[in-house]
């Protein structure tokens, strides 16, 4: 049986001879090829050559976005359109859409500026790659300026997509499929970077990650117009994919129970996944979803998408769900095949010992019996500093012990110390929403609290005005009516009973009401809110978590400054020197960018800015142990905890703790 046949059988839930093992090494290869640090034996090898030399199947689920035949092929990346070998279709704009392109190169970044002039207006975007991204092996470019900035942009984009023509590009796809041959499954792509539905396309492609949630609430009519324009494009696309020579399609990617929280997922993602899967299945084509994040809140919903493979599944200790639970609920029950299952942190010397990896493999091989519906791979991909020998070790273990049906192996749990270092514990289900715990007898205070909790800015502003007219003390309105409710939102976010949009809306409502309240606070004895700067470190473009942290802190009254993403060490130092904050927050989502946090702390020490400044750190791979190791003053696991952390750091130092007014 060749690799392709075996993979397709496993995806269909059939019993095969052995567990397939496909490490994903694109990022590792990009970074090490650039730095000249590939293993000696493979110095001149491409990714494919290494896979073939090792006897591994080719990992062809995620396209090579940074290896277009011509630069023009990725020029429309910021509106989700690619002309790459992995996309079995092509596109054409209508005659009244004029495209203007300019390239800009500097030592720091290479950016493409594109303008789409239409009879109803112009859309501008900027996308590209930074020097740091290149070094860390990035395989996707970064959208620095998104297509949608104001609500008027929806109509312009609706015009672009209403008139867009898709046409098959089967020959280009077939040629690539031939080059993959029997060594793997050449996976075709849907729209953009696997945007599962028109709404997911707007979220992932056209809007900034945090703006999406606010627009989703504020501009339902405009969004609906664009969704309506995109629906025929999606239907046409499915028809083209169904007739294509593809064996499988990557339909949905980067779903996560925070970013694509359950109620949104169920309404705006799941129905299109099902529709695509049903049509693809009718032609014998498989459908793939890429749930590479936290999946606790999506455990039941992902299998309902009728997809065949869940790619890049990244279990505990990198996320909250153990591989045993994944296998049990998804694979053993016959619902979906997992591709992944080995968290990438186990490949890194700095995050796990070889014993940890051994223990993990013992555990994995024991709990995934009988081993059907499982393709061993890395969740998500091997980082640049992967110890290549660890990939070889995993391969050896699977070769020796992965014959199906699997016999239970020995079990030797991961050491407690390592688990603590990983910083995560398997968690129980979502908890019910905590009740409104603000004690107040006054109807108007209670109403203001409800407005904050509901994120209703208009009502809150009205209630605040009413209270001011009735001569309520502005300090009481702020403390009892508003800040107390924002803290409840923080607790609810922490316990998983509210999601990102609720927090953003509550914080926004509070800030609107503050504008009304502020003139009445002037002159009162007011303890100044501490200043807090937060930025995502160099090489890292993840900003959703950082924005949440800023929102929470601003929401409870601190004076916050957003330093943005991809912030260099010296920029942090400069900002601290200029702004003189009490707290600096550093965010990192990648194991490769975490060390930047230590460098920032060192540089602050050298520049003499460490006294009187507390540095706090956070982000999915960060934990208390890491924070202690690099000399940070605090760590918080989420935007709810960060309020408690900041309060305690500030009370230690006897300096301002938010906007609380002394009465």
Please report, as ranges, the residues that interact with ligand B12 according to CB under 6 A. Answer: 27, 133, 138-140, 209, 254, 256, 258-259, 292-294, 312, 314, 319, 344, 379-381, 383, 534, 539-546, 548-549, 585-587, 589-592, 616-621, 636, 638-639, 642
Name the minimum Å distance from CB 423 to ligand B12: 10
Name the minimum Å distance from CB 137 to ligand B12: 8
Rounded Cα distance, 204 and 194, in Å: 9
Name the minimum Å distance from CB 378 to ligand B12: 8
Cβ proximity to ligand B12: between 7 and 31 the closer is 31
Read off φ and ψ for residue 283, nearest 5 degrees.
-105, 15
Rounded Cα distance, 15 and 6, in Å: 9
Q: Which residues pair with 128 in a beta bridge?
A: 111, 142
Name the minimum Å distance from CB 133 to ligand B12: 5
Rounded Cα distance, 29 and 572, in Å: 30
Q: Which residue from 62, 100, 69 is spatially nearest to 83, judged by alpha carbons?
A: 69
Q: Provide CB contacts within 8 A for 355, sequence distance 6+.
A: 415
Gap between the terminal Cα atoms of the chain: 78
Cβ proximity to ligand B12: between 135 and 279 the closer is 135
What three-state secondary structure class fits 393?
A: helix
Contact 129, 110 (CB under 8 A): yes
Cβ proximity to ligand B12: between 93 and 265 the closer is 265
Cβ proximity to ligand B12: between 448 and 586 the closer is 586
Helices (H), ranges, 441-568: 443-454, 457-469, 474-476, 484-494, 500-521, 544-555
Residue 118: Cβ within 10 Å count: 19
Rounded Cα distance, 462 and 469, in Å: 10
What three-state secondary structure class fits 39?
A: coil
Name the minimum Å distance from CB 588 to ligand B12: 7
Q: Provide CB contacts within 8 A for 555, sequence distance 6+.
A: 486, 489, 490, 503, 506, 507, 510, 511
Q: Which residue from 422, 447, 428 is spatially nearest to 624, judged by alpha carbons?
A: 422
Q: Provide CB contacts within 8 A for 617, sequence distance 6+.
A: 585, 586, 587, 588, 597, 626, 627, 630, 632, 634, 635
Name the minimum Å distance from CB 663 to ligand B12: 30
Cβ proximity to ligand B12: between 467 and 630 the closer is 630
Cβ proximity to ligand B12: between 383 and 481 the closer is 383
Cβ proximity to ligand B12: between 285 and 650 the closer is 650
Rounded Cα distance, 196 and 274, in Å: 10
Name the minimum Å distance from CB 185 to ligand B12: 19
Name the minimum Å distance from CB 558 to ligand B12: 13
Name the minimum Å distance from CB 202 to ligand B12: 14
Cβ proximity to ligand B12: between 440 and 644 the closer is 644
Q: Which residue from 276, 338, 268, 260 is spatially nearest to 303, judged by alpha carbons?
A: 338
User: In whole angstroms, how large is the CA radius of gyration of the chain?
Assistant: 26
The tokens for 63 are 């396209």
Rounded Cα distance, 315 and 302, in Å: 15
Cβ proximity to ligand B12: between 482 and 548 the closer is 548
Peptide bond into 380 cis (omega under 30): yes
Name the minimum Å distance from CB 464 to ligand B12: 28
Cβ proximity to ligand B12: between 466 and 651 the closer is 651
Cβ proximity to ligand B12: between 581 and 618 the closer is 618
Cβ proximity to ligand B12: between 125 and 544 the closer is 544
Read off φ and ψ for residue 351, nearest 5 degrees.
-110, -15
Name the minimum Å distance from CB 377 to ligand B12: 11
Name the minimum Å distance from CB 243 to ligand B12: 29
Cβ proximity to ligand B12: between 199 and 590 the closer is 590
The tokens for 321 are 């769900």
Name the minimum Å distance from CB 596 to ligand B12: 12
Q: Which residue from 343, 209, 175, 197 is spatially nearest to 273, judged by alpha carbons?
A: 197
Rounded Cα distance, 68 and 79, in Å: 17
Rounded Cα distance, 47 and 44, in Å: 10
> Where do we find the tokens 């009254």?
557
Rounded Cα distance, 663 and 661, in Å: 6
Cβ proximity to ligand B12: between 294 and 487 the closer is 294
Name the minimum Å distance from CB 310 to ligand B12: 12
């Amino acid at each position: 049986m060749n690799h392709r046949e075996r993979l397709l059988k496993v995806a269909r839930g059939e019993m095969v001879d052995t567990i397939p093992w496909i490490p994903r090494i694109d990022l590792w290869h990009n970074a090490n090829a650039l730095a000249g640090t590939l293993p000696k034996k493979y110095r001149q090898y491409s990714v494919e050559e290494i896979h073939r030399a090792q006897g591994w199947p080719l990992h062809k689920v995620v396209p090579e976005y940074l290896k277009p035949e011509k630069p023009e092929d990725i020029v429309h990346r910021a509106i989700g359109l690619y002309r790459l070998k992995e996309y079995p279709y092509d596109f054409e704009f209508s005659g009244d859409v004029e495209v203007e392109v300019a390239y800009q190169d500097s030592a720091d970044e290479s950016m493409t500026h594109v303008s789409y002039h239409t009879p109803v207006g112009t859309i501008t975007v900027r996308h590209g790659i930074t020097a740091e991204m290149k070094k860390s092996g990035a395989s996707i470019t970064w959208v620095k300026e998104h297509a949608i900035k104001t609500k008027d942009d929806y109509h312009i984009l609706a015009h672009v997509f209403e008139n867009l023509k898709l046409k098959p590009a089967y020959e280009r796809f077939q040629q690539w499929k031939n080059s993959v041959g029997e060594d793997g499954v050449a996976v075709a792509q849907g729209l953009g970077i696997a945007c599962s539905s028109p709404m997911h396309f707007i979220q992932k492609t056209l809007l900034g990650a945090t703006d999406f949630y606010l627009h989703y609430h504020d501009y339902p009519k405009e969004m609906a117009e664009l969704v309506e324009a995109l629906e025929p494009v999606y239907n046409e696309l499915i028809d083209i994919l169904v007739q294509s020579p593809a064996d499988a399609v990557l339909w949905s990617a980067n779903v996560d129970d925070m970013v694509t929280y359950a109620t949104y997922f169920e309404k705006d993602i799941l129905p299109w996944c099902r529709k695509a899967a049903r049509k693809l299945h009718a032609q014998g084509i498989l459908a793939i979803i890429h749930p590479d994040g936290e999946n606790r809140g999506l455990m039941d919903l992902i299998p309902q998408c009728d997809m065949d493979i869940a790619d890049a599944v990244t279990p505990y200790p990198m996320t909250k769900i153990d591989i045993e639970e994944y296998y049990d609920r998804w694979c053993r029950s016959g619902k979906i095949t997992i591709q992944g299952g080995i968290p990438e942190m186990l490949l890194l010397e700095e995050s796990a010992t070889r014993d940890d990896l051994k223990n993990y493999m013992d555990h994995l091989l024991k709990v995934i019996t009988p081993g059907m519906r499982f393709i061993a791979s890395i969740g998500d991909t091997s980082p640049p500093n992967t110890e290549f020998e660890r990939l070889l070790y995993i391969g050896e273990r699977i070769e020796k012990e992965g014959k199906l049906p699997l016999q239970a192996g020995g079990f030797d749990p991961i050491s407690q110390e390592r688990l603590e270092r990983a910083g995560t514990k398997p968690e129980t289900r979502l908890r019910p929403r905590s009740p409104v715990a603000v004690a107040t007898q006054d109807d108007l205070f209670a109403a203001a609290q409800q407005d904050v909790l509901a994120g209703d800015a208009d009502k809150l502003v009205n209630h605040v005005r009413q209270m001011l007219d009735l001569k309520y003390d502005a300090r009481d309105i702020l403390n009892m009516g508003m800040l107390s409710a924002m803290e409840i939102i923080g607790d609810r976010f922490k316990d998983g009973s509210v999601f990102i949009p609720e927090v953003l809306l509550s914080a926004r409502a509070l800030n609107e009401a503050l504008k009304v309240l502020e003139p009445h606070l002037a002159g009162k004895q007011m303890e100044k809110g501490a200043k807090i700067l937060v930025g995502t470190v160099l090489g890292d473009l993840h900003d959703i978590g950082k924005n949440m942290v800023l929102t929470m802190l601003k929401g409870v009254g601190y004076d916050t400054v957003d330093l943005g993403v991809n912030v260099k060490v010296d920029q942090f130092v400069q900002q601290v020197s200029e702004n003189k904050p009490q707290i600096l927050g550093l965010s990192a989502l990648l194991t490769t960018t975490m060390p930047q946090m230590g460098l920032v702390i060192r540089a602050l020490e050298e520049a003499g800015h460490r006294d009187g400044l507390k540095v706090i750190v956070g982000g999915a791979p960060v934990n208390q142990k890491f924070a202690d190791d690099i000399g940070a003053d605090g760590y918080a696991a989420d935007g709810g905890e960060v309020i408690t952390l900041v309060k305690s750091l500030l009370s230690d130092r006897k300096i301002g703790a938010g906007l609380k007014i002394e009465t």
